[in-house]
Amino acid sequence: MSEPSRAAVPDHPVVVVLEGDGIGPEVLASARQVLDAATGRLYRKQRTIDWRLVPSGSANSLLPDETVAALREHRTALRGPFAAPDEGGQSRALELGGLLDVFVGEIRLRDDAREIVLLLEASEGSAAPAEAAPVEPETDALLRLVRREVPSVATAIRFGTRERVESYLRAVGRPEPALVETGLGVELISREGTERFIGASLALAEREQRRRVTLVVDPSATPHAAEFFADTAYRVASERFPGVAVTHPDFMRATVRASEAVAAALRDRALEAGLWIEQRSLAEACELADRRGSFDVVCAPWAEGLLLAHLLAGEDAATTAVVRSNPETGAVIGETLHGTAAALKGKDRANPTAAIRAGARVLWTLGWTEMPAAIEAAINQALAPGTLPSKRKSSADAKAAAGTGPAKLQGSAFTQAVIAALAR
């Protein structure tokens, strides 16, 4: 694992805690207990964690002012899952990401002895859509603007005008509506945003001495955006990373103006290089989801990467952490891949593993490089016997940690088992 890039390693970092909804308060409390125990074991009294618990707000509101101030000051956070907002509500997860301008989402999955890294662009596109709810004046104004200024795009909106809606309803024999309701969402990606994301991703791959970076895009849904994302990535690789070999034949032909045979020869040589970059469609990547060995480092827009992460994780999604960061400013947010699991709230059956791992990765980003390995070793011991198996063999252990498997290690019991393992 590569070293974090922070210049100064804090001995007493402040970590802002947003407990979130559902099982969030329970798993975040467990994570803090485990991480405090690990800090005591690894660093004795030389280091401590200053947990700053702040209000998480509600599902349909912005983050409270107190929370915003703490996040701006400390730029380091650990949060539980947020409930999705109702129609027209504000997304706290989007607001949090925009507040700290985090643009790299990182998910790490184990495949036997290997670790797969999924890197998701976390500041643009589906990670930060511009939206307007139905019947709002802004929606109608935006639709009029699109029809006037970009008619070629407007034709793709099936029911964007009263005329189209009324024509359809007359054809199927339904009454005409009093209102024409159309929600609107715009997902934008920029050259600057893609360049900084790809630059950070390739820098990570080089630091960790990875062999392959796979770009995953979805040309079937948004062909122009997918092509723009991939072409920008190839350009960054070829211009700023001389040690990275580009293997996409179309790009090499366009870049070196070579024949197809020459491009093929370049690709063959690229396969022998230390690190090379390739491209797969989302459909191709999903077909390979049951073979984790097909991937090393994956770079993708947010929606495509998140879908692939869930497919690759399988039942391990309940124990998988997500870290969103800005390598340029040092801002970092630790999160869980799982949701609020409201049905488990208050039953002491919530699995805290993802929250524990998220906190460990946040501390690693701050320079506490020993933390993730110590946490993983303790989790493995708590999931006795022996080490945590690979994905296809780990479901029983993951369920046991959640209180549904044969070991019946439920929330607080599993937390204490991990703490006990740290003390050995």
Residues whose CB falls within 8 Å of the CB of residue 352, separated by 6 or more in sequence, listed in order: 26, 27, 30, 31, 34, 411, 414, 415
Confidence of residue 269 (pLDDT cuts 50, 70, 90): low
DSSP secondary structure string for all residues of 301-360: EHHHHHHHHHHHHGGGGGG-EEEEEETTTTEEEEEESS---GGGTTTT----HHHHHHHH
Alpha-helical runs (H) found in 241-295: 249-256, 260-271, 282-287
The pLDDT value recorded for residue 250 is 59
pLDDT digits (tens, 9 = 90+) for 189-220: 899 999 999 999 999 999 999 988 999 999 88
The pLDDT value recorded for residue 2 is 56
Quote the pTM value.
0.84
pLDDT digits (tens, 9 = 90+) for 128-186: 777 666 666 777 777 778 788 888 777 777 776 778 888 888 899 898 776 777 777 77
Strand-pairing partners, residue 54, are 18
Report the distance separating Cα 353 and Cα 308, nearest Å: 21
Q: Of the CATH numbers 3.10.105.10, 3.40.190.10, 3.40.50.2300, 3.40.718.10, which one belongs to the domain with range 107-129+190-312?
A: 3.40.718.10
Q: Which two tokens stand for residue 395?
A: 């479901």
pLDDT digits (tens, 9 = 90+) for 295-308: 899 999 999 999 99
pLDDT digits (tens, 9 = 90+) for 69-117: 999 999 999 999 999 887 656 789 999 999 999 999 999 998 777 789 9
Q: Could you say which DSSP state residue 81 is in?
A: P
Whether the predicted pLDDT of 119 surpasses 60:
yes
Q: Which two tokens stand for residue 232?
A: 């920008």
Residues whose CB falls within 8 Å of the CB of residue 86, separated by 6 or more in sequence, listed in order: 59, 60
Q: How far apart, in Å, do the first and last CA atoms of the chain sit?
A: 24
CATH topology of 1-101+329-424 equal to that of 107-129+190-312? yes
Whether the predicted pLDDT of 42 surpasses 70:
yes
Question: Phi-psi region for residue 314, left (φ > 0), alpha (ψ -120 to 50) or beta?
Answer: left
List the domain boundaries for the chain.
1-101+329-424, 107-129+190-312, 130-186
Asked: is 1-101+329-424 a CATH 3.40.718.10 domain? The reply is yes
Q: Could you say which DSSP state residue 292 is in?
A: G
Confidence of residue 399 (pLDDT cuts 50, 70, 90): very low
Report, as an integer, the average pLDDT of 403-412. 58
